[in-house]
Chain A
Amino acid sequence: MNLHIEEELCCDVLVIGTEGTGARAALEAAEHGADVLAVTKGFMARSGATLTADGEIDVDSRSARNLFGVDGSPDDSPEQFARDMILEGDYLGDQRLVAIHTEEAPARVKELVDWGAQLEGFIQAPGHTYPRGLWIPGLKLARLLARRMVKRGISILENTMVLELLHDDDGVLGAVALHLPTGRLLLLRSRAIVMATGGAMRVFPLTTAPEELTGDGMAMALRCGAALQDMEFPMFLPYCFLTPPSLRGVIFPYDVSTLMEVHALNRNGERYMARWDPERMERTTRDINSVAAAMEIRAGRCSKAGGTYLSFKHLPRNLVDFSAEWFPGNLRNWRASGFNLRNFFLYIGEEAWEVAPASHFWNGGIRIDEHCATGVPGLFAAGEGTAGIHGANRLAGNALTMTQVWGKRAGLFASRFAKNKKLRKPPNVEVEHVVQTIARLKTESSGPTVIEVRREIRRIAGDLVGIIREEKKLQQALKAIADLRRDLARQHVVNQDPRFNREWVEGLQNENSLDVLEAIVRPSIARQESRGAMYRVDYPATDDDRWLCNLILRRKDDQWEMQEAPVNSIYLSLPTGTRRYGRKGESNRG
């Protein structure tokens, strides 16, 4: 096939991703006079993680009280919120970024309310010293921002997958993208770029996250010279449906576990959490719940479908029935997202549900500074898939806050950068090089199919990386990834119809997912301890003397480089010594 660029679009700021983060960045850049082009792989407000969010969005309790009249505590403050974030992130968060985050959060949520968002609740989730969780359902948030973008006249390109960034020594020049409905290649030229492409949860076999989240943005940024950080900490959510097949990954059982007294059981009927946190049991934090479940599964005490059981049979029937009435809005009446659970279970509470931890959020990602700059001139990044805000583990409700605080900042700094820059023409050879890589996928026929490659990526991620990690398996993973890399160059595509070709999309995603997977494995091998969302069964303790550092990855000439960087701890001093996994580290200053 003779593949070439068929269309060229120019803008000041190219925003990749149009949901919580991307939309906020686009609005801000436009506000500062930039000509913005926002691109998304799916449909706007119909793709990405934002619209699937339950709705918790955090600000410190005092500001919530003062700004919105909710029953917040006057004793809370942005500083206290920052302290909780640093503790929950097991001290790996960049304290400079954390302070900005909690400082700017109230104004960002206030804006949303001014723009028409309704606050539908106010809760206190585990890990928060005070109630901080305001409630704006993700779908409503995504639609609100989308409407605002359209009203603002921002150019939006849907169903367009960005494939590679173009750059030279002076910075970014734009990107090459595939327009999915037509199969045409587009050259998107820009003065600055905001990467707002979300996480890579789809790398794992069981996930709560939507289709698009295959780590494209992290992989593209890495290949463009940016650094990735804290990639060993993908977050898992305990108690997601494992079966029946249509409910796989649905987080409702987890929601129930935060609202009612549930029992997590292994196949022997034992409440195994007693061995991990006898006091809080199933009410302990999400990371410990996930690790405990994964250990049961690993020890062969799994459920019929390979997970664990979640039971509320011990609760009286009328109590269970009543919960259908008082659960928060979108969870009421046994509605699990768009499903009605009564279609699946004859009587809710009679049977235990088969559940397992599912890949849910990306704590690490592209390394940024307080200006969302990546180190590559003109390349900015924000939102899920950037590192430093949440450290090794995220507080509930704090991702939506992240999209607004950091989306706005990225839009601001990218538009400022673009003002002083010329729109430069990408050299033909560079464009041609990218086009050739894509053309290879379209014509190659000797290797495994893209579907087989995707399965192998998920097998490696699930069986050899997963939640419970160990040196031996991680080394096997590295080897399997190296083997797969050879196959990747020969991925076979059966269908060549250019219109909405799923195989092309998957083949291109596979390249990104494999880079991301390797970026998890390398620091996971290096970090010989357990911390936050990462558990090493061969190094189960948390070692603050040796491992209070961020692991930073770069790729140069197809080689990986890993570096240890000291944690930025300008506000709260770092703990010392070693401690049991799950026990909070003590800071003595701040």
Chain B
Amino acid sequence: MDNPKLISVQVRRGDKNESELVAYEVPLEDGQSVLGVLQYIYDHLDPSIGFTCSCRIGLCSSCLMRVNGKVVQSCTTLADGDMVIEPYKEDTLVRDLVTELPLISRASLSKPNI
């Protein structure tokens, strides 16, 4: 693309105790996903941004986020203009957009069983 359109992306950064919206300007490629936009921010603007993803094709749900107020899989949601990206769940927030996803119970860390 010759002159890609710039969009304004605001990402909620921080943790349960403290967070703020941080703004980034991102060139928008046609057909890019919200996850692709985050990857662009991480690769080119700010590697400290926290988010999780795995399959990138809309199957695993590890990329759930709140985009403009709506909870979506960010890999299959197209970026089409300015947006606000927030964690999809506050109570299990680890950092930035990373939340624990309790699909199934897991062993607690302090369970040494010799």
- Once the chains bind, are A47 and B57 in contact (CB under 8 Å)? no
Cα distance, A22 to B107, chains bound together (Å): 16
Given A42-B54, A338-B75, residue A52 in contact with residue B59 (CB < 8 A): yes
| Residues B47 and A343 in contact, CB atoms below 8 Å apart | no
A7 at the interface (CB under 8 A from B): yes
Are A147 and B62 in contact, CB atoms less than 8 angstroms apart? no
Residue of B36, B53, B60, B78 with most chain A CB atoms under a 10 A cut-off: B60
Taking CB atoms, residues of chain B closer than 8 Å to A499 are 15, 50, 94-95, 98
Interface centre among A7, A48, A186, A339 (most CB of B within 10 A): A339
- Tell me whether A179 and B109 are in contact (CB under 8 A): yes
CB contacts (< 8 Å) of B53 on chain A: these are 211
A337 within 8 A of B: yes
A419 to chain B, nearest CB (A): 15
Query: Complex: how many Å from CA A10 to CA B96?
Result: 32
A242 to chain B, nearest CB (A): 11
Given the known interface contacts A250-B57, A338-B58, A502-B47, the answer about A181 and B113 at a Cβ–Cβ threshold of 8 Å is no
Contact partners of A212 in chain B: CB under 8 A = 54
Would you give 17 A-B contacts (Cβ < 8 Å), ordered by A?
A7-B110, A42-B54, A44-B104, A47-B55, A51-B60, A155-B107, A157-B106, A181-B94, A210-B55, A211-B54, A243-B31, A246-B31, A337-B58, A338-B76, A497-B50, A499-B15, A500-B96
B101 CB–A CB distance under 8 Å: yes
Complex Cα spacing A51 to B113, Å: 30
A139 to B103, CA, bound (A): 13
Cβ–Cβ contact B112 & A10, under 8 A: yes
Complex interface residues of chain B between 60 and 114 (CB less than 8 A to chain A):
60-62, 73, 75-76, 78, 94-96, 98, 100-101, 103-107, 109-114
Contact A42:B62 (CB < 8 A) given known A7-B109, A155-B113, A210-B54: yes
- A42-B54, A179-B109, A500-B98 known, 11 other contacts, Cβ within 8 Å: A10-B112, A43-B60, A46-B103, A51-B55, A155-B111, A186-B109, A246-B31, A247-B31, A338-B57, A495-B47, A500-B50
B95–A497 CB distance below 8 A: yes
A8 within 8 A of B: yes
Closest A residue to B113 by beta carbon equals: A35
Q: Does A449 contact B (CB under 8 A)?
A: yes
Provide the main secondary structure of the chain B interface. Answer: loop
- Which residues in A have their C-beta under 8 angstroms from that of B73? 338
Q: Which residues of B contact A52 (CB under 8 A)?
A: 55, 57, 59-60
| B57:A45 contact, CB within 8 angstroms | no
Whole-angstrom distance between the alpha carbons of A186 and B111 in the complex? Answer: 13
Closest Cβ of chain B: how far from A369's Cβ, in Å? 30
Q: Is there a chain B Cβ closer than 8 Å to A215's Cβ?
A: no
State whether the Cβ of A69 lies closer than 8 Å to any Cβ in chain B.
no
User: Bound state CA distance, A396 and B78, in angstroms?
Assistant: 32
* Cβ of A143 to closest chain B Cβ, rounded Å: 8
Tell me which residues across on chain B come within 8 A of A500, comparing CB atoms: 50, 52, 94-96, 98
With a cutoff of 8 Å between Cβ atoms, the chain A residues found around residue B75 in the complex are 246, 338
State whether B103 touches A45 (Cβ < 8 A).
yes
Which parts of A5-45 form the interface with B (CB within 8 Å)?
7-11, 35, 37, 42-45
Q: Sort chain A's interface into a size bin.
A: 35 or more
Which chain A residues have a beta carbon within 8 Å of chain B's beta carbons?
7-11, 35, 37, 42-48, 51-52, 139, 146-147, 150, 155-158, 179, 181, 186, 210-212, 243-247, 249-250, 336-339, 343-344, 423, 449-451, 494-495, 497, 499-503
Whether A46 lies near B101 (C-beta < 8 A) is yes
Residues of B within 8 A of A211 (CB): 53-56
A residues within 8 A CB of B43? Answer: 451
Docked-complex contact B31 and A337, CB < 8 angstroms = no
Q: In whole Å, how far is A338's beta carbon from the nearest beta carbon of chain B?
A: 1
- B32 is an interface residue with CB less than 8 A from chain A: yes
Contact A246 B76 (CB under 8 A): yes
What A residues does B47 contact at CB under 8 A? 449-451, 494-495, 502-503
Task: Point out the residue from A47, A150, A179 that lies within 8 Å of B60, measured CB to CB.
Answer: A47
With A7-B109, A494-B48: A47-B31 Cβ-Cβ less than 8 Å: no
A337 and B94 contacting across the interface, CB-CB below 8 Å:
no
Instruction: Determine the residue in chain A with the shortest Cβ distance to B76.
Output: A338
Find B59's partner among A150, A249, A337 (CB 8 Å cutoff): A337
Chain A residues with CB under 8 A of B51: 502
List chain A residues, Cβ under 8 A from B56. 210-211, 249
Find the A residue at minimum CB distance from B73: A338
In the complex, what residues of B have CB within 8 A of residue A502's CB? 42, 47, 49-51
Given A46-B103, A181-B100, A245-B33 contact (CB < 8 Å) = yes
The answer to whether A147 and B95 have CB atoms under 8 Å apart is: no
Minimal Cβ-Cβ distance residue in B for A52 = B55
B30 close to A (CB within 8 Å): yes
Q: Which residues of B contact A51 (CB under 8 A)?
A: 55, 59-60
* A8–chain B nearest beta-carbon distance, Å: 7
Residue pair B107, A156 in contact (C-beta under 8 Å): yes
The answer on a CB contact under 8 Å between B60 and A156 is no
Q: How far is the CA of A246 from the CA of B78 in the complex (A)?
A: 8
CB within 8 Å for A43 and B32 given contacts A338-B73, A495-B47:
no
Identify which of B96, B101, B113 contacts A43 (C-beta below 8 A): B101
Chain A residues positioned under 8 Å from B32 (CB to CB): 244-246
- When distances are taken between beta carbons in the complex, the residues of chain B under 8 Å from A450 are 47
